[in-house]
A and B are shown apart, each in its own frame.
Chain A
């Protein structure tokens, strides 16, 4: 029983990180219909920037995370402006390949600047807390709480603010949004900024319990794709729910099935879903 609760807690932690990454991915997909393969590289870069802010400049964890959000967010804006905007009228194949090119570049860049070694990020929240006889590390609790806070803030931003609703409008219909006078280019850049920021938050939160290395985004991005297919491409609640579903199934699978093959669970899940329903679960009607 204790193991089960511990594993559920772990699932909640991993799920929170997955949800944050998937949210960024789904936002971009929702408005531009680009499956951004480079999102994993943005995640990786976020981890590195937080890490080097902390080690090189000795700044506080939160400030380092803030810097990382800004930098990765701006990088997202640059990608939109100089790559994806030029490809807006191109066939869908081109977006994907351009995104792969960016991914390859960013990974090589990280390896060039920080080396191929694995780094550990020491968080100020390494303490262990005891709740009802179960032990949790503070960092993991922090991940869950911050991730939920970010999701709530994002939700409020999208639903309650004027700027946020322009994003929703554009995801519903690009032409419609443009007709009522929404500046599509601005909204696209804003979305890429938020998406990059979410990736940076996710990696800054997750790095203390994982490691920082150039390939850290690989599995995360693949799983994020699985999540948004699970939750419906472009659907925001879907990304959150899907993230937690995958988090739970992985942590339970690792304990009760096989630790070696836990990474494969997500992909088997995807293969099964797409086999049964080729357009993904909860797909909105054909566009």
Chain B
């Protein structure tokens, strides 16, 4: 009976995550973790599209901003209930994602990356310039914290941490179910060769579009959570700088792996919090890191770990085989 199985490890991690507020009696750590969980949700969205379906989208900071602004505007200006606004924010992001995806997915590879980069920039410019709606550079202030569900309130750092944690776990579970299902296999088939996928009868456009809309859904959800957590948003959250941050979390953690987004986000957010003195210059380290990782470890930390594990397994296997071989000779 092995104790160190993958399943037990995951259960231990989840228990640790739930007991963290009791272990760390420090709001700062909780705040940091909550924030990185929110980013991680968005990174899972990008991973589903870029990692599994093979389309590098550079517009997701824009969808993140759409989610955040939808929630902000609905609660602040329309006075809507938080939970209803959260659902609406996700729906709005999905609807826009659907329309943009419909056009963007006609393009491929480089064109798709450039196209989405431009879409992201347009979203940013519209938020920045449309002062009548979004208050422009002044930003939206006074976004309410999540509303109560019956007796449960979300006014302490710990309760918000739990809220975001539950959303994150749900997102991971959904992504896990998707990639283990036929749908997920279909996405990977499209990533590996779109022409081949089409020949074996996969409707690539339909599948790419679902992947795109799902990934914008996660980005929008993360944006909405971000808005209610930070309670102030400005146009900067849709900028390419945020997009590149998200991309880096994904790449460092491991693109196309299930654990990658979480590992990368946690690691880099914590690292950049500790390199606070470097805040403006952290790209001096992270930029080359990104390039080096893509050259030598294209599947990030998670990918490198799995490769190492497999190699070890292979070695022990061949070792066992070697022993058997020797025994056979001796016999």
Contact = CB atoms under 8 A, between A and B. Distances in A.
Contacts of A280: 111
Nearest to A109: B284
Contacts of A225: 114, 117-118
A106 B281 CA distance: 11
Nearest to B287: A105
Contact of A97 (B129, B281, B294): B294
A235 B87 CA distance: 47
B106 interface: yes
Interface stretch (A136-144, A151-159, A257-265): A257-265
Contacts of A218: 240
A102 B291 contact: yes
Residue in A93, A105, A109, A270 whose Cβ sees the most chain B Cβ within 10 Å: A93
> Interface centre among B108, B129, B286, B291, by most A CB within 10 Å?
B291
B280 interface: yes
Contacts of B126: 264
Interface string B109-133: 1110111011101100110010000
Contacts of A260: 129
Interface string A83-105: 10011001011101110111111
A268 B122 contact: yes
Contacts of B287: 101-108
Interface string B215-254: 0000000000000000000000000100010011001000
A135 interface: no
Contacts of B271: none
Interface residues of B, number: 42
Contacts of A267: 118-119, 121-122, 125
Interface of A: prevailing SS: helix
B313 to A, nearest CB: 26
Contact of A101 (B56, B115, B118, B289): B289
A278 B108 contact: yes
Contacts of B244: 100, 104
A201 interface: no
Interface residues of A, number: 45
Interface string A14-43: 000000000000000100010100000000
B283 interface: yes
Given A105-B288, A274-B111, A93 B240 contact: no
B290 interface: yes
B107 interface: yes
Given A97-B290, A229-B111, A271 B251 contact: no
Nearest to B290: A101
Contact of A274 (B56, B107, B109, B280): B107
Given A261-B129, A274-B111, A105 B118 contact: no
A104 B280 CA distance: 11
A116 interface: yes
Contacts of B111: 229, 274, 278-280
Nearest to A116: B280
Nearest to A103: B287
A111 interface: yes
A236 interface: no
A222 B54 CA distance: 22
A98 B291 contact: yes
A93 B280 CA distance: 27
A130 interface: no
A111 B281 contact: yes
A33 B251 CA distance: 21
Interface in B70-110: 103-104, 106-110
A279 B114 CA distance: 12
A77 B262 CA distance: 36
B121 A87 contact: no
A112 interface: yes
A252 B286 CA distance: 40
B298 interface: yes
B115 A270 contact: yes
Contact of B283 (A29, A104, A271): A104
A275 interface: yes
Among A29, A116, A222, the one with the most B-chain Cβ atoms within 10 Å of its Cβ is A222
A87 to B, nearest CB: 6
B295 interface: yes
A270 B294 contact: no
A109 B290 CA distance: 15
B282 interface: yes
Contacts of B47: none
B186 interface: no
A98 B109 contact: no
Contact of A93 (B54, B282, B288): B54
A226 interface: yes
B265 interface: no
Nearest to B104: A274
Interface of B: 50, 54, 56, 103-104, 106-111, 113-115, 117-119, 121-122, 125-126, 129, 240, 244, 247-248, 251, 255, 280-284, 286-291, 294-295, 298
Given A92-B109, A93-B54, 10 more contacts: A90-B294, A92-B110, A101-B288, A101-B289, A101-B290, A104-B286, A112-B284, A218-B240, A261-B125, A278-B108
12 contacts: A35-B114, A90-B295, A93-B50, A96-B113, A98-B291, A98-B294, A101-B287, A101-B289, A107-B287, A229-B114, A270-B114, A275-B106
